[in-house]
A and B are shown apart, each in its own frame.
Chain A
Amino acid sequence: MTVILAEIPYWGQSLLRVLGGLVAVLLPAGTIVYVFLFKMMSFMQSRLGPMEAGPYGSMQLFAEVGKWLQKEDIVPDRADARIFKMAPIIVLVSTFLLVAVVPFGPDAWFTDFETGIFYALAVSSISVLGILIAGWSSANKYSLLGGLRAAGQLIAYELPMVLAVIGVVIQAGTMNLQKIVVAQNSGSMFGIDAVGHPYVISQFIGFIIFMIAIQAELTQAPFDMPIAESELVSGYMTEYSGFRFLIFFIGEFATAGVFAMIASVLFLGGWGVPFAWFGWTSIDDIDNWMNFAGPLIMFTKMMLLVFIIMWIRFSYPRLREDQLQRFAWKGLIPVALGNIAVTSILKVVF
């Protein structure tokens, strides 16, 4: 991959990266919406879901996008129009910035930050700004309440997420996502090389906390108070229609995909398979085909994690606002802190 890139001029590389970023964000988002939102939810409710557009309704998403694009782009009378129009873009941009650090193969990455996971956690909170100004600028009480709830919730669950990641960082000894993948796949567990050392086992508590936290970060049920449709119409999205609603919608499921990718990098070994399978010892030994197999492995792991997220989403009713906050501050954060303490002690001892 690096060899190929060296022959392409800089603008060509940039173009390829932009295209790759679009594919890495929109393809998982579309797949998640079709497989999980349309089909899995319907099957869990003993119905078939969309069946008319294309075979088994597979073209339904294009029909929906076409419908949204035709709708009028309404801005409320008293709204702060410029900010109001900007808000969904900010939410979507944070997703695109997030995917920039995710490694898809030994050489297939967009950027190779030394502090990758730090950057990812920092950038993921940009979407809070977008949601907050969407709620504020709509000039609507429901939107404002939804925006405030979203801000409170996202900040509350940012903390356990960061704290859960710290356990992984301590164990891997690096913040670089690529090196975290290598550390998991080149390690061994109980003296067996063939399983590698996925942190989902040694950091199981961290994994659970991280999954709960991203469930809340993505505002999926049972943590969907910001868009609670029975109380707040549609929360911060109430006043949005057409294209801008579509951007919010894409942002929601694209972020779900990207967060699942990050979770799979941190806990499931990312793009890699245990290196012992093919006799690799370090990242330099890896064959070039891994650059093409890696994204597929990554995609499989992402789908597995998104399946869990969506399964929980379709099974549980919504929490109350105060239960949500109590769960984060009194439940997850102390457990995550304890997890960090235990991890660092064990790291020093062994």
Chain B
Amino acid sequence: MPKVPGLVKGLGVTLGTLFNTATKGANTVQYPHEKETPPIRSRGVIALHQDNCTSCMLCSRSCPDWCIYIEAHKELAPPRREGGKPRQVNLLDRFDIDTHCACIAEFVLKFVRLMRSFGALSTNILNRTSLTCCTTRRS
């Protein structure tokens, strides 16, 4: 069989996709009406394990785009043992991340959970700043 010229093959590809889309449906979803289930390892909205966070600023400093905002203040906590001195702890006031973070460093994952939900950027700025609302307590 003689070789089919690439130009003809290309026309065949586009026409084949046309018929596939017409008969089997498109590869895309109509986003606001139907939502895709993200893959298991997808990185979506970031949630913080608040109890693990010591406000060490490591994540904030490691972010190349300065996307992570952390504010904390110091407080005295009751001593661990009887008769000991009160401990000094950092209490987190604010933990904000500007975007869905894709490049978050490996070590941070101990303190931060990448959730599989998405769309936090889609509606308005209130959704973005309310990222701290989805910080979860470690069970």
Q: A43-B21, A316-B7 are in contact. Are A48 and B26 (CB under 8 A)?
A: yes
**Residue B56 lies at the interface, judged by CB distance under 8 Å to chain A:** no
How many angstroms between the C-alpha atoms of A328 and B47 in the bound complex?
A: 61
Please determine whether B14 and A311 come into contact, CB atoms closer than 8 angstroms. Answer: yes
**Residue B22 lies at the interface, judged by CB distance under 8 Å to chain A:** yes
How many angstroms between the C-alpha atoms of A45 and B27 in the bound complex?
A: 9
**Residue A47 lies at the interface, judged by CB distance under 8 Å to chain B:** yes
**Residue B2 lies at the interface, judged by CB distance under 8 Å to chain A:** no
Within 8 A of A (CB), among B12-45: 13-15, 17-18, 20-22, 26-28, 30
Please determine whether A312 and B27 come into contact, CB atoms closer than 8 angstroms. Answer: no
Please determine whether A46 and B14 come into contact, CB atoms closer than 8 angstroms. Answer: no
Set of chain A residues within 8 Å of B21, measured between Cβ atoms: 42-44, 46-48
Q: Give the number of residues in A that approach B within 8 Å (Cβ atoms).
A: 14
**Residue A282 lies at the interface, judged by CB distance under 8 Å to chain B:** no
**Residue B84 lies at the interface, judged by CB distance under 8 Å to chain A:** no
**Residue A63 lies at the interface, judged by CB distance under 8 Å to chain B:** no
**Residue A315 lies at the interface, judged by CB distance under 8 Å to chain B:** yes
**Residue A189 lies at the interface, judged by CB distance under 8 Å to chain B:** no
Set of chain A residues within 8 Å of B5, measured between Cβ atoms: none
B30 is contacted by which of A43, A51, A315 (Cβ under 8 Å)?
A: A51
Q: A312-B11, A315-B13, A316-B7 are in contact. Are A47 and B18 (CB under 8 A)?
A: no
**Residue A133 lies at the interface, judged by CB distance under 8 Å to chain B:** no
Please determine whether B26 and A316 come into contact, CB atoms closer than 8 angstroms. Answer: no
B10 is contacted by which of A43, A51, A316 (Cβ under 8 Å)?
A: A316
Please determine whether B30 and A44 come into contact, CB atoms closer than 8 angstroms. Answer: no
Chain A nearest CB from B113 CB (Å) reads: 33
Interface size class of B (residues with CB under 8 A): 10 to 19
**Residue A209 lies at the interface, judged by CB distance under 8 Å to chain B:** no
B27 is contacted by which of A44, A47, A315 (Cβ under 8 Å)?
A: A47
How many angstroms between the C-alpha atoms of A47 and B30 in the bound complex?
A: 9
Set of chain B residues within 8 Å of A314, measured between Cβ atoms: 14
Within 8 A of B (CB), among A303-332: 311-312, 314-316
Set of chain B residues within 8 Å of A51, measured between Cβ atoms: 30
Set of chain B residues within 8 Å of A46, measured between Cβ atoms: 17, 20-21, 26-28
Please determine whether A315 and B22 come into contact, CB atoms closer than 8 angstroms. Answer: no
Please determine whether A43 and B11 come into contact, CB atoms closer than 8 angstroms. Answer: no
**Residue A40 lies at the interface, judged by CB distance under 8 Å to chain B:** yes
Q: Which residue of A lies closest to B19 (CB)?
A: A43
Set of chain B residues within 8 Å of A311, measured between Cβ atoms: 11, 14-15
Chain B nearest CB from A222 CB (Å) reads: 10
How many angstroms between the C-alpha atoms of A54 and B14 in the bound complex?
A: 27
Set of chain B residues within 8 Å of A42, measured between Cβ atoms: 21, 26
Set of chain A residues within 8 Å of B17, measured between Cβ atoms: 43-46
Most buried by A among B18, B20, B27, B28: B18
Set of chain A residues within 8 Å of B15, measured between Cβ atoms: 44, 311
B14 is contacted by which of A44, A47, A48 (Cβ under 8 Å)?
A: A44
Please determine whether B28 and A43 come into contact, CB atoms closer than 8 angstroms. Answer: no
Please determine whether A47 and B11 come into contact, CB atoms closer than 8 angstroms. Answer: no
Q: A43-B17, A43-B18, A43-B21 are in contact. Are A315 and B11 (CB under 8 A)?
A: yes
Chain B nearest CB from A220 CB (Å) reads: 14
Please determine whether B26 and A315 come into contact, CB atoms closer than 8 angstroms. Answer: no
Chain B nearest CB from A331 CB (Å) reads: 14
13 residue pairs A–B, Cβ–Cβ below 8 Å: A43-B17, A43-B18, A43-B21, A43-B26, A44-B17, A46-B17, A46-B20, A46-B21, A46-B27, A51-B30, A311-B11, A312-B11, A314-B14
Having A46-B28, A47-B28, A312-B11, one finds 16 other A-B pairs with CB under 8 Å, namely A40-B18, A43-B17, A43-B18, A43-B26, A44-B15, A44-B18, A44-B21, A46-B17, A46-B20, A46-B27, A48-B21, A51-B30, A311-B11, A315-B13, A316-B7, A316-B10
> What residues of chain A have their CB less than 8 Å away from a CB belonging to chain B?
40, 42-48, 51, 311-312, 314-316
Shortest 3 CB-CB contacts between residues of A and residues of B: A43-B21, A46-B27, A44-B14
